Amino acid sequence: MRYLPHTPQDRAEMLARIGAANINELFKDVPADALLNERLDLPMAASEMAVERQLSAMAAMNTAAGTVPFFIGCGAYRHHVPATVDHLIQRSEFLTAYTPYQPEISQGTLQVLFEFQTQVAALTGMDVANASMYDGSTAAAEAVMMAARVTRRQRTVLSGNLHPHYRDVILTNGTYTGEAFVKNSPQVTDDEDLAAQVDDQTAAVVVQNPDVFGNLRDLTPLAEAVHAKGALLIVVVTETVSLGMVKSPGAMGADIVVAEGQSIGNGLNFGGPYVGLFATRQKYVRQMPGRLCGETTDADGKRGYVLTLSTREQHIRREKATSNICTNSGLCALAFSIHMTLLGEKGLRHLAALNHAGAVALAESLSEVPGVELMTERFFNEFTLRLPKEAQEVVEALTEKGILGGVRMSRLFPGDDTMDTLVTIAVTETNTPEDFAAYRKALEEVLS
Amino acid sequence: MNRQGRPTQPVASSAPEGLTTFSGNKGLQLEEALIFEIGTTQTTGVDLADLPANAKSRIGDLARTDEIGLPGLTEPETMRHYVRLSQKNYAIDSGIYPLGSCTMKHNPRLNEKMARLPGFSDIHPMQPQSTVQGALELIDTLAHWLKVITGMPAVAMSPKAGAHGELCGLMAIRACLEARGDARVRVLVPESAHGTNPATAAACGYKVDTIPATEEGRVDLEALKAKLGDDVAALMLTNPNTCGLFERDIIEICEAVHGAGALVYCDGANLNAIMGKVRPGDLGIDAMHINLHKTFSTPHGGGGPGAGPVVLSETLAPFAPLPFVVVTDGTFSLAEYAPEAEAHGAQPFGRLTAFHGQMGMFVRALSFMMSHGSDGIAQAAEDAVLNANYIMASLKDIMTASFEGPCMHEALFDDRFLKDTDVTTLDMAKAMIDEGMHPMTMYFPLVVHGAMLIEPTESESKQTLDAFISTMRQLVEAAKAGETERFTGAPHFAPMKRLDETAAARKPVLRWTPEENASHSAAAE
């Protein structure tokens, strides 16, 4: 087996040094009945070429986004990732290192995390950010738990226009912790009145911007109402590129910002691995979940970085920790940070503007198709249409024509018949004018 | 005579005492500033299309007008910044990385190549399911391998990491007990457990009750039985345990727990020692997470992303979270919502993540497993155990092994052998850095004093192990001979000296600020 260095002679010599007659003597603590005498019922070892052949055949059964006009978003977005990013994250020293427990030989990873934390804090308009979470949805659940710790309250108001998978992750995490949740129904056009639902028992309000339909809202009045009751405003962002163009959650008064960072530096990967961004105000630092990297000096007074404030974490605090999280999403955070460095502020703003311009152009074009109505007035790169037919039928017909035309909202909100004719469409810089024309033509055909 | 360009001849010399360089660099060891100090907000390393001339805005008064503060670098500067940073990291590809509990094994690049096939990497989690049949098949195939390896009937694929898997397993247990109308309040956790175990139990609303270890480093069966009662929901144990030992009473332990109406959660962090040798399903385990990044070598990536699928017993299988893959007449689909799941007889406890799990890690893990095959998987476990025992056998005469062997895939020592020296476990670890090795896990598990947990994995050759053993012996002898400065000031030769972690925690600086830039440049002058 190509990954195993020992020869039979090595093994024999090593057993002799140990003083064991055979390998199974080392497994003598395993109950005799449980020790397997036969091979597992699985294929035998395979060559590199054989594995590549089998897996490539499976991959070929999927429609890669880059091969068709592609307009799917709703929490994951297809952006161009520069070749430099993928090269750098495959450097052995980043790829095959682990958590920087020994800072003297991990300054590469640690400095990247310090730079990442600073980038995320700047992007979200907050004071501090952690070294990343698993993804946006788990970061949202952690934010809800953190708000309960900060406020010592247990009631959370969830916007109806929160991505329903995020809502479900929050609800699942809160199942056994005594939290109470106020749920709202999704409303594609109406500005829901969340402020009215905040009382002096409320820990937090969770709202997504842009929301799951693509709507952008000014959250400043909501933040004021939330703060007036001593609660926290948690803002969820699933399309991080929007922060290059839209007023930051921090500037609107958010107390905790969680985001899905996949859009920057990370591919679609069928849903993971992604990278959760988590940022908050300085005063709440010690209630944050997850790893934190901090600056310090070494014995010679030279600037360096270490993991810090670990007394919040499970390996020290055990059942009293702020979270059970152990890893972060290190390599995805690295990809995010490298791509963000390549973009710089100038590049990010331009990227965001391209996304927005494309989305506006497609939205206006498609809403000229008879019977189609644009439901989102103010949006970034994702918008929702009401169709004259069931969206499921339309999306399937578009797929037949080789266009992956968006997410039917009946998939995200099953059982809610107000969603049946809605489709949510995302546009990024990867879409071309030809893609737009193909979509328009196909939609006209499907609806005619 | 002009000797320019002629071959050099070495002149024997060591650097004069106190010699420093003007740049701060030391040969190949290059200093690197922060991006905030070398980049500008107006620099970019990407070329993007021009905006269309007739571009319209629908942002209104929500446009971002403040300066964000994100520096950019050009592409060559970016490349250099991150390559220089990478060179400050130790990694598996550099040398032995015997970090106990972490299974730092070789990361084959075939796995990276497979995960980057556009048919896996460039597909969206919300694509119509007819366009991702191969992806769903891959998840189903990986699930099959995991079930066969563990001898368990079901697996929940979506957890994003080991600790997330623990949450999944405990939520399934709690949902199962509540469905029986038998809510319970306590979870038993051995004192040697990973910190994630009690933290997870607390996140599921349970009270944590610690059970002591025996003199032999194993769960005390009698103490366990004494703690069992009708308010105990589960036992969370690690097997092989964190002392590197197989819990030889495991069958009696599971029977006792089941006899009390509770369930057994196994932390699968140490699956590497037993895959292909023992199946947890044959021992009475009800749920166990599998760290794909450890056992199946999806890379550790400097601290994630991981992946933590959870295998489940018949009892717990119906409670697995959404979404899950369903196969009907050769067609794959996803059950994403409770009604779809209920149609398949399931009672999912909820949803743990936005999408379907760590697909990129699934591809890598399956590539790794297929490469090994059933024969290679068992061989890898045997070699991992052989290597740990070889280290134990070669060092136990001069270091103190905490427990009687044989061990499984990690060898645990404590600091008794350092008793009459001024050297601590931490000092020993830092001296290992000087020797060009990554230290072992230190001060864990907590059940022994000054723990040193060495996990070599199956990837290390006999030659590498012999070199490691030889260096360790010399270090131990130096410590015992009173060469204290070698240890207490270590590392002497790493890119950094020991860092002040206390100061970092006392006054946390968690981000760069322009003020820091000013003070840092002032200090440099």
Write out pLDDT tens, residues A100-149: 999 999 999 999 999 999 999 999 999 999 999 999 999 999 999 999 99
Taking contacts as CB-CB distances below 8 angstroms, the residues of chain B near A272 are 160, 305, 307, 353, 355-361
Query: Which amino acid would we find at residue B334?
Result: L
Question: Residue B523: what pLDDT?
Answer: 46
Domain boundary pick from A312, A339, A366: A339
- Which one of B510, B519, B521 makes the best mutation probe of the A interface by having the most chain A beta carbons within 10 Å? B510
Q: B470 to chain A, minimum CA–CA distance in Å?
A: 15
Determine, for residues B510 and A294 on separate chains, whether the beta-carbon distance falls below 8 Å: yes
Nearest to B91 among A93, A129, A378 (CB): A93
Whether A28 is covered by a domain: the verdict is no
Question: Residue B515: what pLDDT?
Answer: 80
Nearest to A343 among B44, B66, B246 (CB): B44
Secondary structure class of B19 (helix, strand, coil)? coil
Asked if A335 and A363 sit in the same domain, the reply is no
Question: Residue A143: what pLDDT?
Answer: 98
Mean pLDDT of B496-504: 95
Secondary structure class of B414 (helix, strand, coil)? strand
Nearest to B62 among A177, A216, A296 (CB): A216
Asked if A124 and A144 sit in the same domain, the reply is yes
CATH of the domain at A429: 3.90.1150.10
Q: How far apart are CA A122 and CA A116, in angstroms?
A: 10
Residue B525 has pLDDT above 70, yes or no: no
Determine, for residues B116 and A86 on separate chains, whether the beta-carbon distance falls below 8 Å: yes
Asked if A285 and A379 sit in the same domain, the reply is no
Asked if A266 and A358 sit in the same domain, the reply is no
Read off the pLDDT band of B1 (50, 70, 90): low
Size of interface A-B (CB pairs under 8 A): 719
Asked if A260 and A397 sit in the same domain, the reply is no
Write out pLDDT tens, residues B179-202: 999 989 999 999 888 889 999 999
Tokens of B290: 């599998």
Question: Which residues in chain A show pLDDT less than 50?
Answer: none
Question: B414 has which bridge partners?
Answer: B400
Determine, for residues B198 and A19 on separate chains, whether the beta-carbon distance falls below 8 Å: no
Determine, for residues A5 and B461 on separate chains, whether the beta-carbon distance falls below 8 Å: yes
Q: Which residue of A has its CA nearest to B321?
A: A172
CB B471 within 8 A of CB B119: no
Question: A298 has which bridge partners?
Answer: B499
Give the rounded distance of the alpha carbon of A203 from its chain centre: 24
Mean pLDDT of chain B, nearest integer: 94
CB B78 within 8 A of CB A84: yes
Q: B222 to chain A, minimum CA–CA distance in Å?
A: 19
Percentage of residues of chain B with pLDDT beyond 90: 89
- Which one of A105, A137, A429 makes the best mutation probe of the B interface by having the most chain B beta carbons within 10 Å? A105
Question: Residue B10: what pLDDT?
Answer: 73
Mean pLDDT of B444-471: 97
CB B307 within 8 A of CB A63: no
- Closest of A147, A166, A128 to residue A285, by C-alpha: A128
ipTM of the complex: 0.97
How many residues in chain A? 448
Asked if A321 and A442 sit in the same domain, the reply is no
- Closest of B262, B179, B170, B339 to residue A173, by C-alpha: B170
Whether A231 is covered by a domain: the verdict is yes
Question: Residue B519: what pLDDT?
Answer: 58
Asked if A329 and A353 sit in the same domain, the reply is no
Mean pLDDT of B77-85: 98
Query: Which amino acid would we find at residue A70?
Result: F
Which parts of B178-280 are beta strand (E)? 186-190, 207-211, 232-238, 263-267
Q: Characterize the bridge pairing of strands A422-426 and B287-289.
A: unpaired
How is chain B split among helix, strand and coil, in percent rounded to 5? Answer: 40, 10, 50
Whether B279 is covered by a domain: the verdict is yes
Write out pLDDT tens, residues B280-318: 999 999 999 999 999 999 999 999 999 999 999 999 999
Taking contacts as CB-CB distances below 8 angstroms, the residues of chain A near B500 are 296-299
Determine, for residues A246 and B62 on separate chains, whether the beta-carbon distance falls below 8 Å: yes
Asked if A390 and A367 sit in the same domain, the reply is yes
How many residues in chain B? 525
Whole-angstrom CA distances from A18 to A11, A298, B103, B396, B398 are 11, 41, 22, 11, 15
Write out pLDDT tens, residues B316-372: 999 999 999 999 999 999 999 999 999 999 999 999 999 999 999 999 999 999 999
Determine, for residues B501 and A25 on separate chains, whether the beta-carbon distance falls below 8 Å: no
Whether B402 is covered by a domain: the verdict is no
Read off the pLDDT band of B13 (50, 70, 90): low
CATH of the domain at B209: 3.40.640.10
Residue B520 has pLDDT above 90, yes or no: no
Read off the pLDDT band of B517 (50, 70, 90): low
Q: How many domains does chain B have?
A: 1
Q: B425 to chain A, minimum CA–CA distance in Å?
A: 13
CA angle B95, B85, B90 (to 5 degrees): 15
- Closest of B43, B32, B306, B75 to residue A114, by C-alpha: B32
CB A376 within 8 A of CB A188: yes
Write out pLDDT tens, residues A412-448: 999 999 999 999 999 999 999 999 999 999 999 999 9
Write out pLDDT tens, residues B248-274: 999 999 999 999 999 999 999 999 999
Question: B236 has which bridge partners?
Answer: B265
Asked if A248 and A396 sit in the same domain, the reply is no
Q: Which residue of B has its CA nearest to A104?
A: B496
Question: Residue B2: what pLDDT?
Answer: 61
Taking contacts as CB-CB distances below 8 angstroms, the residues of chain B near A105 are 88-90, 433, 438, 491, 494-495
Nearest to A344 among B71, B121, B200 (CB): B71
- Which one of A17, A23, A33, A40 makes the best mutation probe of the B interface by having the most chain B beta carbons within 10 Å? A40
Q: How far apart are CA A414 and CA B504, in angstroms?
A: 49
Neighbours of A445 (CB within 10 A): 11
Question: A424 has which bridge partners?
Answer: A384, A407
Question: Residue B186: what pLDDT?
Answer: 96
Alpha helices in B58-161 (DSSP H): 75-86, 109-115, 118-121, 133-150
Read off the pLDDT band of B54 (50, 70, 90): confident
Domain boundary pick from A339, A373, A390: A339
Taking contacts as CB-CB distances below 8 angstroms, the residues of chain B near A302 are 496-497
Per the structure, the complete domain to which residue B248 belongs is given by 111-367
Domain boundary pick from A339, A368, A391: A339
Alpha helices in A79-205 (DSSP H): 83-89, 92-95, 107-124, 136-151, 164-173
Q: Is B20 exposed, middle or buried (0-12, 13-18, 19+ CB in 10 A)?
A: exposed
Residue B18 has pLDDT above 90, yes or no: no
Determine, for residues B354 and A163 on separate chains, whether the beta-carbon distance falls below 8 Å: yes
CATH of the domain at A169: 3.40.640.10
Whether B396 is covered by a domain: the verdict is no
Determine, for residues B122 and A267 on separate chains, whether the beta-carbon distance falls below 8 Å: yes
Per the structure, the complete domain to which residue A361 belongs is given by 65-80+345-447
Asked if A131 and A182 sit in the same domain, the reply is yes
Asked if A111 and A238 sit in the same domain, the reply is yes
Whether A5 is covered by a domain: the verdict is no
Determine, for residues A102 and B433 on separate chains, whether the beta-carbon distance falls below 8 Å: yes
Whether A230 is covered by a domain: the verdict is yes
Give the rounded distance of the alpha carbon of A225 from its chain centre: 28
Q: How many domains does chain A have?
A: 2
Asked if A433 and A362 sit in the same domain, the reply is yes
Whether B64 is covered by a domain: the verdict is no
